Chains A and B, each alone.
Chain A
Amino acid sequence: MTVTSSVQWRMGIQTRSSSFKGMSLTVTPPAHSPFSTQVPRSLLFVAPFWYCCPAMHRVKVAVVGAGVVGLSTAVVIAEALPHCSVTVLADRFTPNTTSDGAAGILFASQFPDVPVEQQRRWFKRTFDHLLLIASSPEAGVAGVFLSSGWQIFREVPPEKKPYWSDCVLSFGTMTDAELKRFPQYKFGQAFTTIKCECPSYLPWLQKRLEKAGGIMIHEKVTDLAELGLRYDVIVNCSGLGSRELLGDEDVHPVRGQVLRVHAPWLQHFVRVADGHTYIYPGAGGVTLGGTRQAADSQAIFERCRRLEPSLGSARPLGEWVGLRPGRRNPRVERGHVRVHGRRVPVVHNYGHGGWGITLSWGTALDALDLVRQCLNERPPEARL
């Protein structure tokens, strides 16, 4: 089904036109009343598709969570569905979200149960979206830029290429000369990907959200049913918070500890394939990690220094610990919550583990599709 719709502003009044199966409908509200219009009865049966009717109250969408997934999803919805009013509710905003501490290198492991094609689509859509920003004048402001480097393996792996190898800008096997720098490693991949730094990117997304008419509210959501009293559609991007909010015990915290150092001569990332040791140079410092359980910062530093001896000249900037919203697979699907006998649709988009930034835009687009589906199934509320 394709419905194309366009919104034009003429003399300060919104004109909406839609076309479906060749029928085209144009509505220009009378000048005296920008929010009312005459709807011919014969068009009532297409009303489910004609969700641009200004006679309906604006659909109120609540997005729970203001990390990279929440904000991306909110922006995607606000920009694609201008008849929806989007409100982001969260107890934490940048720079205090989990996303803010992440290095933000676009990279992903494969989830066990989601079809690979879908994961690849998530990755590719996020990468392409961020690549546009990286090649624009906004790269420095948004904190989104190209990053080249190496992933090294102690033993030659069975899978030499990950599912996303053709999504990043370039991907190849390291040459022997390149591997010489890492004598204990037998195999490596060299690629150019993107670094997306949330302390810059989230404010940039927030501006984009506001430009699209979205608003943000500092509020800790503890009860989806209560939220359902105030909003028509709920989009749950609460990350680790879903454990408590929904009682989803599949969500579990995966601890990450990183050091940040000043080492401005480092231009390449280095990641050991087991994910326990990585060096990610950024615009404001180099992120050294990491661990999945409690560990001494000194241990992290020593492991990184063995890979990159020049770190001996680095100056420490600080430490950070975050809890990744771990889950066997991300949950991107529809649900609902019962409110006074009504069903208020909920779209879930959480559980991205350590790959939130990497999959943020792609899963946001999937969430948008699910929101559209929810809206299409709403009973027609046209008023004549």
Chain B
Amino acid sequence: MRVAVIGAGVIGLSTAQCIYERYHSAVSSLSIEVYADRFTPQTTSDGAAGLWQPYLYDNGNTLETKWNKETFDYLLGFLNSPDSIKMGIFLQSGYNLCSDPAPDPSFRDIVLGFRQLAKRELDLFPGYSHGWFNTALMIEGKSYLPWLMNWLKQRGVKFYQRKVSSFQELADSGVEVIINCTGVRSGELQPDPELKPGRGQIIKVSAPWLKHFILTHNFKKGVYNSPYIIPGSHHVTVGGVFQLGNWSEQNSTADHKKIWEEACSLEPSLKHARVMEDWSGLRPVRSRVRLEREMMQFGPASCEVSIKTGAKPLVHLSTSTSPSNAVWTQTLQLIYNYGLLFQVIHNYGHGGYGLTIHWGCALEAARLFGEIIEQKGQGDRSRL
């Protein structure tokens, strides 16, 4: 059975890993291929600072909080392993600062040592009246992604550097399940008006005396639009901007100036830091993560299914019912079960918390994959 993952950021690679782990022995001749136009260190995941931290509030989206927690616990389990540094995982503590009093964040019970900030600590950050201290994790894309690729390569997963133009293209070549992890550019494969770029720019500096993250939250300006400072294993990441709808991946001098001035106000010692370089990336912003499976979607007015095996069409059906019709769905299911259609599992739209949520999503994507396998029956269903 051929499975193709499109996208080689943290979502694509970890989903490939999760599916392999759980199904390579259950499904004979499971072969996983990863297609992407960008690989590490050129992906969005590579530029992110790598701090595990969701947005402050999940607004009722408890599923995402569950996935965040699963990721945290999973990564925490690697801390004492010999691979932890190769994976880019280590603990880091720091400060979340709010300009106004705010309720405790959704992640208060997930992180370690969560507590309110004392007045003496708040005094260090003029302009912020409220905040929290906790110990969280760093998961650095520049280490984690190579580790994942290595893990996958060792198990026979193939990698292809090219841009996939459509799901159909892969299906035509014989792929039965596609995992769509194309992040901010998912719209090119299937239009999604909910998906938008949330442009970010960061400045990498050398300031090795900084040992805590400092994240500020200005509820008027919105998430990631006020300064943050995140020390890493190699450099300190200074941000932030969050520009919804801006597709530019070029560094902006104006943004650099704004970020730098605000960060130096927050942490005066940055004055003597050595600026290394800027980087811009596009967060794949969506109201919620799209994590679901889909059989090929057709237009509502007329549906045309071309059932092919090999190169010759076998059956040509034409109908005017929409795919939501129960009979139609059953028909499709029947056709699908004979290995003649393909499924897509979408796993994209993780905004600025892809690294934070990736494992929980990979587990869910693997679960959806399991449903597909189950519906196909036991073991391998060979093509007709």
| Interface set of A (CB-CB < 8 Å, partner B) | 134-141, 143, 145-148, 169-170, 172, 174-175, 177-178, 181, 190, 192, 264-268, 281, 283-284, 309-310, 312-313
Contacts and interface: CB of A to CB of B under 8 A. Distances in A.
Given A141-B272, A267-B91, A267-B212, 12 more contacts: A137-B272, A139-B269, A140-B209, A145-B210, A146-B211, A192-B133, A264-B208, A267-B90, A309-B81, A310-B85, A310-B90, A313-B84
Contact of B211 (A170, A172, A267, A310): A267
Interface stretch (B60-68, B113-121, B159-167, B240-248): B113-121
A145 B90 contact: no
A140 B90 contact: no
A139 B272 CA distance: 9
Interface string B115-144: 100101100100000000101001000000
A265 B90 contact: yes
Contacts of B124: 135
A261 to B, nearest CB: 12
Interface of B: 79-82, 84-86, 90-93, 112-113, 115, 118, 120-121, 124, 133, 135, 138, 207-212, 231, 233-234, 268-269, 271-273
Contacts of B271: 137
Given A135-B268, A264-B234, A268-B93, A148 B211 contact: yes
Contacts of A140: 207, 209, 269, 272-273
B88 to A, nearest CB: 8
A312 B81 CA distance: 10
Given A169-B121, A175-B112, A310 B84 contact: yes
B113 A175 contact: yes
Contacts of B93: 148, 267-268
A134 B92 CA distance: 19
Contacts of B85: 265, 310, 313
Contacts of A312: 82
B260 to A, nearest CB: 14
23 contacts: A136-B269, A137-B272, A139-B209, A140-B269, A141-B272, A174-B113, A177-B112, A181-B79, A181-B80, A264-B208, A265-B85, A265-B90, A265-B138, A267-B90, A267-B211, A267-B231, A268-B91, A281-B211, A284-B208, A309-B79, A309-B80, A310-B79, A313-B84
A265 to B, nearest CB: 4
Nearest to A312: B82
B84 A309 contact: yes
A5 B173 CA distance: 90
B133 A170 contact: yes
A265 B268 contact: no
B90 A266 contact: yes
A169 B120 contact: yes
Shortest 9 CB-CB contacts between residues of A and residues of B: A139-B269, A313-B85, A265-B233, A265-B90, A145-B209, A283-B209, A137-B268, A137-B271, A283-B208
Q: Is the interface of A mostly helix, strand, loop or mixed?
A: mixed
A138 B90 contact: no
Contacts of B212: 146, 148, 267
B211 to A, nearest CB: 5
Contacts of A136: 268-269
Contacts of A264: 208, 233-234
A136 B270 CA distance: 10
A267 B92 contact: yes
A139 B90 CA distance: 24
Contacts of A192: 121, 133
A148 B213 CA distance: 12
B208 to A, nearest CB: 4
Contact of B269 (A137, A148, A190, A313): A137
A181 B78 CA distance: 11
Nearest to A139: B269
A230 to B, nearest CB: 39
A351 to B, nearest CB: 30
A304 B174 CA distance: 53
A281 B81 CA distance: 20
A139 B207 CA distance: 10
Contacts of A281: 211
A170 B269 contact: no
B143 to A, nearest CB: 9
Contacts of B208: 264, 283-284
Nearest to B117: A170
B120 A178 contact: no
Contact of B209 (A135, A143, A265): A143
Contacts of A283: 208-209
Contacts of A174: 113
Contacts of B207: 140
Given A148-B93, A264-B234, A178 B121 contact: no
Contact of B113 (A135, A138, A178): A178
Name the residue among B86, B113, B209 with the largest chain A CB count within 10 angstroms: B209
A11 to B, nearest CB: 35
